[in-house]
Amino acid sequence: MTHLQIIKDCKDRMEKALDVLKNELKGLRTGRASPAMLDSIRVDYFGSPTPIKQIANISSPEPQQLMIKPFNITDLKEIEKAIRNSDLGLAPANDGKVIRLQIPSMSGDQRQKLVKKIKEIAEQAKVACRNIRRDGNKHYEQGEKDKTMSEDDAKKGKEEIQNLLKTYENKVDELANAKSKEIMDK
């Protein structure tokens, strides 16, 4: 691999790790109803686990409520079952046409637990980025060993990857801190 290919590969993979973090944070409950809360829930739809948003419309008619209207009424029971079995701790109210979810406001203790979980998720993202750095460094070491790049080029490349890592670790921290602040302020 050339120097530019290694840097581009590392940057692309770190960006993907950041996207994974964003999606995980989006699904965390903040005390306010958000359709993204249900993104992680899969419904048994004709034998295959399917995201709720692919078989129903999800809306938030009130700040503390979600409404799920399936495209096919026969899917109501399966959606309700999936929500009950999820780790969100929500009780679906099925009226035969739609499912309503009341989102209770969070206690201080719940908020603290959620902030702790955010820190764990952020640390996983940082570890993923560090593993990407390690892989990039191996490419430089291999290039140096194979005599396809000079020792100086390999050293500069490793420094560039280290700077890239710092940038993405800062982005991870910014996202985690913003989500923690959102949870503690609500």
The alpha-carbon radius of gyration of the chain (Å, integer) is 22
For residue 150, the SS3 value is: coil
What is the predicted pLDDT for the residue at 31? 65
> Which 8-state DSSP code applies to residue 90?
-
Model-wide pTM > 0.95: no
User: How confident is the prediction for the chain on average, in pLDDT?
Assistant: 88
Per-residue pLDDT band for 165 (boundaries 50, 70, 90) equals very high
Q: What percent of the chain has pLDDT over 70?
A: 97
Q: Which domains, from first to last, does the chain contain?
A: 3-26+107-185 (1.10.132.20), 35-102 (3.30.1360.40)
User: pLDDT tens for residues 52-66?
Assistant: 889 999 998 888 889
For residue 108, the SS3 value is: helix
User: pLDDT tens for residues 11-42?
Assistant: 999 999 999 998 888 767 666 777 888 888 88
Over 70: is that where the pLDDT of 186 sits?
Answer: no
User: pLDDT tens for residues 84-140?
Assistant: 888 777 888 888 889 998 887 777 787 888 889 899 999 999 999 999 999 999 999
Give exposure, 56-81, as e/b (b: 16+ Cβ within 10 Å). Answer: bebebeeeeebbbebeeeebbebbbe
CA distance 157 to 168: 17
Q: What are phi and psi of 88, to 5 degrees?
A: -75, -25
